[in-house]
Amino acid sequence: MHFTNLNLSFIGDIMENHLSPSILAADFGNLSQNLQAAEEGGARYFHFDIMDGSFVPNISFGMPVIHSLRKNSKAFFDVHMMVDDPDRYVQAVADAGADGITVHQEACTHLDRTLNHIHECGLKAGVALNPATPISTLSCVLPLVDLVLIMSVNPGFGGQKLIPYTLDKIRALRDYRENAKLHFSIGIDGGATTENVQEIIDCGANFIIAGSAVFRPNDQIAANVKAFRKIMGENPEGENKS
């Protein structure tokens, strides 16, 4: 079920840079207001980290949070499933209001099946790799994906510093994509700030997940989004509109 009314290319246009603020770093006592502030700064995407306490050592939130926020937002909801056997939840996440689902290669017994399931639900399909997982593990499924998300921290907690060698993975993935003439976008999740986002983009990433650097301090959310977008040169077309 596809909810957004925006004309968003998301991961379909690898020539454009996009910021997706991670709500894990938001104030959950004022979650709707935090998203509204980010949208006022120009955010057109939001990243939702669903954690099960098994695949990653933390528990976050589930489908009711996506559903409640969907009611008041036309942004693209980018849901990152940090759970074991995520295929079990694809339909429920779609019904809650997701526009795209990213699953972990390490968590899927049948990755091909899961990616196709996501597409069958009408959503964009992404696959994430933990820092120590080589990109070669995706060689057979890259034609199926809209996004490859490189984890630049060990998943489970926000506020971590970027692991430097993950930038090498982004460079290698960019080169592979070019040589294979594929069209997926490359994302990065973990430790992105306004200080390092230009380097990240130069390495080949165009879909930037940022949490603490957007939502903290709480009274600077719109300004933080604007600062990211200015550096990234994010296309102003497709701003939130009815």
Position 71 in a domain: yes
Residue span of the structural domain in which 133 resides: 18-232
Domain count, the chain: 1
The per-residue pLDDT for 159 is 67
pLDDT in tens, 11-54: 556 679 999 999 999 999 999 999 999 999 999 999 999 999 99
Q: How many CB atoms lie within 10 A of CB 114?
A: 26
Contact yes or no for 222/37 (Cβ under 8 A): yes
DSSP labels for 78-132?
EEEEESSSGGGGHHHHHHHT-SEEEEEGGG-SSHHHHHHHHHHTT-EEEEEE-TT
87 is catalytic: no
Distance CA(220)–CA(77), nearest Å, equals 22
Catalytic residue among 49, 78, 99, 146: 49
Position 151 in a domain: yes
Q: pTM for this one?
A: 0.92
pLDDT band at 131 (very low <50, low <70, confident <90, very high): very high
Amino acid at 148: V
Position 8 in a domain: no
Position 5 in a domain: no
Position 11 in a domain: no
Which is nearest to 151 in space by CA: 126, 116, 175? 126
Task: Supply the CATH number for residue 112's domain.
Answer: 3.20.20.70
Position 88 in a domain: yes
pLDDT band at 240 (very low <50, low <70, confident <90, very high): very low
Position 12 in a domain: no
pLDDT in tens, 86-122: 999 999 999 999 999 999 999 999 999 999 999 999 9
Catalytic residue among 13, 175, 189, 219: 189
The structure tokens listed for 140 are 């057979």
The per-residue pLDDT for 3 is 46
191 Rama class: left (phi>0) / alpha (psi -120 to 50) / beta: left
189 is catalytic: yes
Distance CA(130)–CA(98), nearest Å, equals 22
3-state secondary structure of 67: helix
Distance CA(17)–CA(14), nearest Å, equals 8
The per-residue pLDDT for 10 is 53
Distance CA(15)–CA(66), nearest Å, equals 28
Position 238 in a domain: no
Distance CA(135)–CA(71), nearest Å, equals 37
